[in-house]
């Protein structure tokens, strides 16, 4: 397995890491075998989140027995210091750990959220205190809006950044990678296979790892997936011309008709959280997390049936997505 240094954290992590979303849909016994197989094949970076139902529990149950072999990352949507301090304690207890290698501010996506996170009583202050106490070794941030993340990387406390990047989603990536490199920020790539939309995982991962990133974290829920993905990092080869053409063809077939969660469509005048609906629909269609996605959809409060077909969201969408049609289709699955 090839390893790279995760920026100024100094941690050496496998170029192919382990994304913790799909592990939710397998049993604890299956998860144990999957995680151990990943470790056996050299994967040492594992990323999960408080919001991924039992993902922390399943990963922790396996990883705590081989703690010295793993770099463990999790994250929380908490924005206040009090809430973040509580989340850190829950993560440690749930995973059965004495410390967490990397704790990330999860999906900070607006100036208002950032202001709250950075306030004296904000989540970052709690993370800094947890780091001083040895409960958290390093601090990072995740998000989907690259232009916004670029404004956050100037914070000296932020040691890593995690964002989506794949052959279809490349906007803003070169600039963000350049900025991260200049500041010594470790780069974690989520959704290297476009949330499962790209079927040629080997090519998709190799494409990402040709760039100046530290690790890519495809989600995995089977031994086959672990072995295939680990194989990329164990024999990292540049794409051939034919493979580039094949990957480009798949990207072209996929087209632009999927939500990148840039949030330019917001706010909806009917209070529909459009990106959240598409995110949950992706979990439904690509990860087969049917009941989980439906439950989360119900918790949104306002469903797609509230849409009045005004079309304002489509006018604002930089990708010209047929949002009204996509919402209706998602509603048939999630409603």
Q: Which active-site residues does the annotation give?
A: 52
Label each residue of the chain as H, E or C: CCEEECHHHCCEEECECEECCHHHHCCHHHHHHHHHHHHHCCCCEEECCCCCCCHHHHHHHHHHHHHHHCEEEEEECCCEHHHHHHHHHHHHHHHCCCCEEEEEECCCCCHHHHHHHHCCCEHHHHHHHHHHCCCEEEEEEECCCHHHHHHHCCCCCCCEEEEECCCCCCCCHHHHHHHHHHHCCEEEEECCCHHHCCCCHHHHHHHHHCCCCCEECCECCCHHHHHHHHHHHHCCCCCCHHHHHHHHHHHHHHCCCCCCCCCCCCCCCCCCCHHHHHHHHHHHHHCCCHHHHHHHHHHCCCCHHHCCCCCHHHHHCCCCCCHHHHHHHHHHHHC
Query: Six-digit token pair at 145?
Result: 């809006």
Query: Six-digit token pair at 97?
Result: 């750990």
Query: Six-digit token pair at 54?
Result: 């039992």
Residues in Cβ contact with 66 at an 8 Å cutoff, skipping those fewer than 6 apart: 36, 39
């Amino acid at each position: 397995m090839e390893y790279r240094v995760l920026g100024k954290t100094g941690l050496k992590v496998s170029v192919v890491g382990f994304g913790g979303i799909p592990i939710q849909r397998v049993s604890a016994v299956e998860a144990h075998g999957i995680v151990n197989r990943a470790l056996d094949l050299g994967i040492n970076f594992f990323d999960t989140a408080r919001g991924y139902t039992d993902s922390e529990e399943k990963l922790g149950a396996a990883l705590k027995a081989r703690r010295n072999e793993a770099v463990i990352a999790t994250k929380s949507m908490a924005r206040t210091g009090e809430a973040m301090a509580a989340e850190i304690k829950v993560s440690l207890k749930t995973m059965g750990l004495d410390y967490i290698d990397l704790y990330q501010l999860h999906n900070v996506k607006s100036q208002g959220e950032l202001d709250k996170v950075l306030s004296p009583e904000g989540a970052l202050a709690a993370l800094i205190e947890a780091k001083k106490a040895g409960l958290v070794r390093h601090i990072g941030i995740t998000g989907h809006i690259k232009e916004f993340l670029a404004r956050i990387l100037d914070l000296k406390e932020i040691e890593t950044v995690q964002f989506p990047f794949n052959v279809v989603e490349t906007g803003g990536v070169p600039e963000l990678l350049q900025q991260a490199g200049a500041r010594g920020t470790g780069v974690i790539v989520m959704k290297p296979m476009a949330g499962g939309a790209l079927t040629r995982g080997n090519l998709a991962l190799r494409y990402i790892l040709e760039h100046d990133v530290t690790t890519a974290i495809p989600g995995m829920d089977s031994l086959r997936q672990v072995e295939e993905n680990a194989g990329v990092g164990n024999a990292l080869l540049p794409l051939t011309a034919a493979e580039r053409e094949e990957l480009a063809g798949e990207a072209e077939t996929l087209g632009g008709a999927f939500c990148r969660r840039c949030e330019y469509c917001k706010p909806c005048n009917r209070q529909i959280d459009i990106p959240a609906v598409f995110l949950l629909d992706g979990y439904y269609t690509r990860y087969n997390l049917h009941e989980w996605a439906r439950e989360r959809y119900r918790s949104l409060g306002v469903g797609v049936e509230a849409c009045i077909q005004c079309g304002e969201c489509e006018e604002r969408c930089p990708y010209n997505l047929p949002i009204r049609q996509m919402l209706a289709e998602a509603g048939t699955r999630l409603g």
